[in-house]
Structure 1
Amino acid sequence: MYTGFKHLHSTIALLLLIVFALALVFHIIGLLTSSQYSKGHRVAALVGLIASHLQLLVGLVLYFISPLGVSNLSGDTMKDSLGRLYALEHPLINIIAIALITIGYSKAKKATTDKQKFTKIVVFYSLGLILILSRIPWQTWALIN
């Protein structure tokens, strides 16, 4: 079960990065060209939001069943950079990132002008993506190695 969730988490992460990059580029182009905020823009932002929430759900399950997750929180873990990354930094930073993504989507939905909608998505999704990229365990990521 653990191995299956670990592979699922890695696969969804790759899909999330692709979907997110495309949605972000789509919104940046819309912002720079002063386009109208269309249904396509809304769907792209929504797909990014759904992918991030799915990744969070799988990640939380993995965190509680993994030997590297919550069961590994101790003083010794905090001294080891990789252990600290898995037990504390990766989950905490990614929860914050997904909260920012959710806030950005919500604020864009409530915005009254197209420029505000594009700006909210670009700012909040960029912050979320930066945080996500900063805490991916690149050295052990199954899809890369």
Structure 2
Amino acid sequence: MKAVCVLALLLMFMTATTANAQSKKLPDSVNVLIRLHPRDAQNPLVDSVLVIFDRFDRTGAGIVKRIYHPIDNQFTIFKVPEGKYYINIFCLGFYRDTFNDLMFVSKRHSNNLRYKLKRNDEFTPGTYLPDMEVDFANLAITNIKSFR
């Protein structure tokens, strides 16, 4: 009798399927979409950007550290692990700008970042450039408070 019960139990375990809860694994990483919107329609498109994602708790420096080439001033970073990140975006090439941000990347949040580009003017020779005014009283060398 015991042998029949043991064989029946073994047969049940061998034919059993996995539970449905275990087969529905949620992804542990998400995609982040970054859009760079120009304020002026005459601004050129950004040709390349350097993106650095650093973990907020300092356990993973440079989780994402790569150069991207945006298409229509937007690009997607695939498979970013969930967490809170310091985000640094450096525009390279003809248009130069820098963006720094702190963001929580999660499946529950909208992982779309939007940055506004500053107005970019081209230099034309012969144009008037205003004089720079320097306040010598507030320089680090002449300020008494900086020597304390």
| TM-score, scaled relative to structure 1 | 0.24
> Comparing both structures, which one devotes a greater share of its residues to helix?
1
| TM-score, scaled relative to structure 2 | 0.23
> Comparing both structures, which one devotes a greater share of its residues to strand?
2
Radius of gyration: which is bigger?
2
User: More relative contact order in 1 or in 2 (CA 8 Å, sep 6+)?
Assistant: 1
